Amino acid sequence: MSYFDLREYLEALEKADELHRVPAEVDPHLEMGAVAQRLAERGGPAVHFQNVRGAANGVTHVGGMMSRGQKGLWSKVAIALELDPMAAYRDVLNEVWRRTESPIRPMHVGGGQCKDVVLKDGEVDLDALAAPKLHDGDGGRYLTTWAYTIVKEPGTDYVAWDLIPQMVLSRNTLTGRIARDSEIGRIYYEKYEPAGEPMPFAIVLGAVPMATMAAAFRRRRGGHTAAELAGSLQRAPMQLVTCETSDLLIPATAEMILEGVVEPGERAEAGPFSGTFGYSVPEPVQSPVFKVTAITHRTNPILPFCAWGTPISEIHLTQGLDCDAQLSAHFEKAGAPIVDVFTPPWLAGSVVAVSTKVPYTAYAQAVAGAVRITEGTKHVPYILVCDDDIDITSPVELFHAMVTKCHPERDTWIIKNCAASPDAPYLTAAERERGEGARAIFDCTWPLDWDRSIAVPPKVSFDQCYPKELQDKVLAGWSGELGFPNEAERPA
């Protein structure tokens, strides 16, 4: 059974000892952010702040719902997928990959818990939600760091979902940077604003975990809709209800919905705010203004937030998982001899590693070409291609392969004027304005023309320089007669 709502997911986290509730009063000004940031960096349970200073109408906040857990890197993501919290990453990835191949269409229903309370016009008060200021360098109080925005393309049935962190400007306005190459960016900047038309929006706070994950995934238009993707991830159709002020469809069991319009040409300063690389974007950006005309919510709504910052937060885990699922599907359909793909979340989505059999010389460039054209990885600046004997999910093995197999001159290629993420901290101001940077490809495979028996040195490791019989004996007695801790019980 899929989760009915966010609250069922929180119960599952609590049952797995991956949720901590805080009844003491906490300050939304930096204190909530400091706790969530430390949990993201060190690994720990989700945290439910039940007494937030300044919050009204029973509002509480929960952070770190899908960040690194205390049982392992992927424990909370596994629970969101209704898997064993101790599931290995390959099992988590395969499950996501398998599910996203079979879209499930949403259901349009007549009502839902998201409309228990309806507030319109003068009743709207964003200040009563106690949006947190997460980091000392942030430009304001950010309300939608783990929420998603819904807009519809005019003249079509196409609907886009996206995560847009937005800060509170006033009782009824928000602002946040809309990337021009995002689906919502294209709809607003190419359709609504040139036509001088206001763009209706809905912001969903506290949906079922797979809905927010689907919104965080970066998928190319023309594939499954975000609502279909969410349905496939949770193995059940999304139940959607119509907004109060527009024809946009929203999750019926969400904790809160903000409805309104973006007026063409109206701008305000957004930020600074942390990017996915873990650095604060240095300058505020003139960004569209979201005018909230209605708020609907459940009784005593629970509002989620994410401490965007240094890894590993929800955004790093979910988007990295999406990258790997997209690449796995691409390589399988192409019949490529790929063994594994991995986007290390501790490297903030800046590296994609691929392990493969090498069928011909310079195959690493062909692999990198596939990474460059895949939607989820088109901005990734570093691509590592490794032999199939490397466990690329291991930082030690991955970077050992890089520094021992990749010749700094022969096996490194730099591609200039590539699409780049605008929050990449190494970009110059001019590059950030153009949305361009560079990409590095590292071939960490042995050259095919080297004699394996002479030129390639033998690797000195447990699994390669001891007889198989001895390896089996050592492993069989590891936690028995040798008395070492059982490694299967250690967090990833």
Give the list of residues 6+ apart from residue 4 with CB closer than 8 angstroms, or none: 208, 253
pLDDT tens-place string over residues 210-245: 999 999 998 877 678 999 999 999 999 999 999 999
Average pLDDT over residues 365-377: 94
* Cα–Cα dist 233/102, whole Å: 9
* Average pLDDT of the chain, as a whole number: 94
Radius of gyration (Cα) for the chain, nearest Å?
24
- CA-to-CA separations, 68 to 8, 163, 371, in angstroms, rounded: 20, 19, 26
pLDDT tens-place string over residues 412-423: 999 999 988 888
* Cα–Cα dist 27/426, whole Å: 33
Q: How confident is the model at residue 489 (pLDDT cuts 50, 70, 90)?
A: low
**How would you label 397-413 residue by residue, b for 16+ Cβ within 10 Å and e otherwise?**
bbeebbeebbeeeebee
Average pLDDT over residues 331-344: 96
Q: Is the pLDDT of residue 76 over 90?
A: yes
- Tell me the pTM: 0.93
Are 259 and 207 in contact, with CB atoms under 8 Å apart? no
Average pLDDT over residues 69-75: 94
Question: What's the confidence (pLDDT) of residue 40?
Answer: 93
Average pLDDT over residues 194-223: 93
Question: What's the confidence (pLDDT) of residue 226?
Answer: 94
Which of 5-14, 77-86, 475-484 has the lowest average pLDDT?
475-484
Q: Is the pLDDT of residue 433 over 90?
A: no
Q: How confident is the model at residue 343 (pLDDT cuts 50, 70, 90)?
A: very high
DSSP 72: -
Please state, as a whole number, how many other Cβ atoms lie within 10 Å of the Cβ of residue 192.
21
- Domains of the chain from N-terminus onward: 6-305 (2.30.110.10), 336-444 (3.40.1670.10), 461-492 (no CATH)
